[in-house]
Amino acid sequence: MIGTSIICFMGLYAMTLVDYSLTDYVFDELDRLAEFLRREAASCNATDNMFSELVLQLKDFSQVAREIWFITTIFASLTSVSYTFHVLACYRKHLRRLWAGQKGFLPKRYHNPNPAVSVAAITRYSGWQIAYTMWGFLIIHFVQFLFGLLVAYALVLPIKRGQGLYVLAGLAEILMNIALVVGLVVLQIFLVQLFFLQEKISPTDKKKPLALNNRKAFHNFTYFFFFYNVMLGLANCMLRLICSCVLGTWLVSRIDRTVMQRGYEALDPGYATWIGMIFADHYHSNPVMITFCHLLLAERLEREKRLTVSYSRFHNTPSESVSCSRARQRWLLFYTLLRNPKLTSLRRPDPPCRSPTPPGPPPAPPRLTPRSGRSARWTNTR
């Protein structure tokens, strides 16, 4: 992870230099084009032609775009660097959760990944993380550049040209619409809380129970707000689309977080690679498993050393008896189950011991009785 992060930083540095150099060259060419068009417009006799106005707008755009691109380069670089550090923090946090047996933060389909897929994810992770960081820098930079142009042409330039009142009027209208939408939603919640929920079951409860009260009035309330909720739904649908696009592009370089909705995580191969990688590291770097294997190997080496010493010296120490060894193993098993109660249900039960049957009285010998008839035959009777 550390090596991958260092390569990401080096790639971001190189990408930033190349990006700034290319865009600086593009803006210089755009300035030359604007100057050439200005000279052509000055050579025309007409002073109020549309061509001269277009040249002035092109020159203003070149100057504004150059400044915004430089500012957004800094912000995009800082965002990518912060994402790289955040991926390191998430790697440590996710591994600790897996070591503790917590898998609730993962989708259910990834709770038991395929071993082959997890091992293959290790080979892909470093390259994919670097590629996601590079592409994420470019995408975030472009989105921030568009947002900066929108703010500049909607707020900054009109204010600089003396049109601040029109800007404030437009902002006030937008804020009033947003306040109206939020106010209607809050009003519905307040009225439902006040009139259409039953009282608390206990005075110590913090909230009212989820039980309707005044159902007829509630039906009238729902019908009255039906038409308002249709308009609110249209506005919220557009808001949902905008928020999804913004968050999707903003988190595109985050390989530790999926940009898909719940149930569609399989369409995000980067997130699947992340999960496979952390599961492989979890199985190979679990401290409990490593400590357990270390204890087993240390005990085996100690036993082999004890046997070797016993054959090489005359004054041998008596080896541990079988009964003491069995008692020690039972004590360790009891202590382990006491500290980890969940292992009790996973432990294989011991085979039931068969108690010897007490000797009973010997069976009675068979008694011979003659059968009545022509021939004297004997039968066994009890």
Q: Which among 187, 184, 192, 183 is positioned nearest to 217, based on CA atoms?
A: 192
Q: Please give the pLDDT value at position 378.
A: 40
Strand partners, 378: 370
Q: Which of 80-84, 299-303, 347-351 has the highest mean pLDDT?
A: 80-84
345-362 average pLDDT score: 59
Q: Please give the pLDDT value at position 351.
A: 57
pLDDT in tens, 124-168: 888 899 999 999 999 999 999 999 999 888 888 888 887 778 888
Q: Please give the pLDDT value at position 304.
A: 78
Whether residue 381 has pLDDT greater than 50: no
In one-letter notation, the amino acid at residue 174 is: I
Q: Please give the pLDDT value at position 197.
A: 86
275/122 Cα distance (integer angstroms): 10
DSSP 212: B
* Residue 343: strand, helix, or coil: helix
Give 208's contacts (C-beta < 8 A, 6+ positions apart).
193, 197, 198, 199, 200
Decide: 27 and 62 in contact? Cβ < 8 Å.
yes
Strand partners, 367: 381
Decide: 58 and 37 in contact? Cβ < 8 Å.
yes
* Residue 300: strand, helix, or coil: helix
237/244 Cα distance (integer angstroms): 11
Q: Please give the pLDDT value at position 270.
A: 87
The pair phi, psi for residue 252, each rounded to 5°, is -70, -30
pLDDT in tens, 80-111: 999 989 988 988 999 888 888 888 888 888 88
Q: Please give the pLDDT value at position 382.
A: 38
Decide: 60 and 46 in contact? Cβ < 8 Å.
no
Give 260's contacts (C-beta < 8 A, 6+ positions apart).
267, 268, 271
In one-letter notation, the amino acid at residue 237 is: C
Decide: 370 and 376 in contact? Cβ < 8 Å.
yes
55/33 Cα distance (integer angstroms): 9
In one-letter notation, the amino acid at residue 53 is: E
52/234 Cα distance (integer angstroms): 42
Cα four-point dihedral sign 79, 280, 284, 130: negative
Distance, CA of 349 to chain centre? 38
Tokens coding 120: 């293959």
63/38 Cα distance (integer angstroms): 15
Quote the percentage of the chain above a pLDDT of 90.
5
